[in-house]
């Protein structure tokens, strides 16, 4: 089973019984391109492992423009973080950029499992640490790197996403306009 392999790779300390507990509580969810997994301003605590597809987290500003904050792809954790970790409404929309298959959990149910299982608590702690590291990396990147450096790093770390994500979302993620991204790409191809 694909999901068992996912858990085994990410959390080698989990037993077969632990994995069975999680898989039995999980619900498969399929999203079409453009469908929303979590809406901004809601308190849904649905979380999951993205088994196939790509998604983007974005924030809608008061003027109606949206800003891409994260991309998620195969074998990554997907969840509206504020409802789960802060008990506050989500600040982001999580949207499928292509057809997605997610193994979903209701966080409250998973929390019950963790109460009696230290290995599941450890797995959650690892996932939480990864989410925090992702956020810190994102903030540091926006503060300390120039757009060209952010783009080079995106190419180095996530080149497999280039043809799967519209350029306007990559530009938004980098904090630049699509026109600026086109110029940047042209400059880099000449150099």
Q: Where are the alpha helices (DSSP H) in the chain?
A: 2-10, 16-25, 81, 107-115, 118-144, 147-158, 167-174, 178-190
One domain for residues 94 and 186: no
CA distance 101 to 26: 12
Q: Look up the domain containing 187 and give its range.
A: 145-191
DSSP secondary structure code for residue 174 in this structure? H
| 38 and 7 both lie in a single domain | yes
The CATH number given to whatever domain includes residue 79 is 2.60.120.10
The pTM for the full model equals 0.89
**pLDDT of 189 strictly over 90:** no
Rounded-to-integer distance, Cα 109 and Cα 49, Å = 15
Residue 62 lies in a domain: yes
pLDDT band at residue 177, thresholds of 50, 70 and 90? very high
- Report yes or no: 67 and 118 within 8 Å, Cβ to Cβ: no
Assigned domain for 138 exists: no
Instruction: Say what the pLDDT of residue 5 is.
Output: 73
22 lies in some domain: yes
Q: Decide which of 2 and 75 is more confident.
A: 75
Let me know whether 70 and 152 are in one domain. no
Domain end among 87, 103, 133:
133
Domain count along the chain? 2
Which residues have CB under 8 Å from 76's CB, separation 6+? 49, 50
Strand partners, 100: 31
Residues 37 and 108 in one domain: yes
- Helix or strand or coil: residue 85? helix
Would you say 83 and 100 are in contact if contact means Cβ atoms under 8 Å apart? no
List, for residues 148-167, the tens digit of each pLDDT value: 999 999 999 999 999 999 99
Judge whether 64 lies within some domain: yes
Domain match, 157 and 127 both: no
């Amino acid at each position: 089973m694909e999901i068992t392999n996912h858990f085994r790779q990410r959390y080698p300390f989990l037993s077969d019984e632990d994995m069975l507990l999680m898989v039995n509580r999980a619900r498969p969810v399929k999203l079409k391109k453009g469908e929303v997994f979590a809406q901004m301003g809601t308190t849904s605590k649905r979380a999951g492992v993205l088994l196939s597809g790509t998604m983007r987290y974005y924030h809608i500003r008061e003027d109606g423009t949206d800003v891409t904050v994260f991309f998620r792809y195969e074998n990554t954790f997907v969840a509206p973080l504020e409802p789960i970790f802060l008990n506050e409404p989500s600040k982001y929309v999580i949207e499928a950029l292509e057809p997605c298959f997610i193994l979903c959990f209701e966080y409250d149910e998973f929390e019950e499992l963790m109460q009696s299982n230290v290995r599941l608590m450890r797995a959650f702690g690892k996932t939480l640490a990864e989410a925090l590291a992702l956020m810190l990396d994102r903030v540091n990147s926006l503060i300390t790197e120039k757009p060209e450096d952010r783009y080079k790093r995106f190419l180095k770390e996530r080149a497999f996403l280039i043809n799967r994500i519209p350029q306007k979302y990559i530009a938004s993620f980098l904090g630049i306009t699509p026109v600026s991204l086109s110029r940047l790409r042209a400059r880099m191809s000449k150099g």
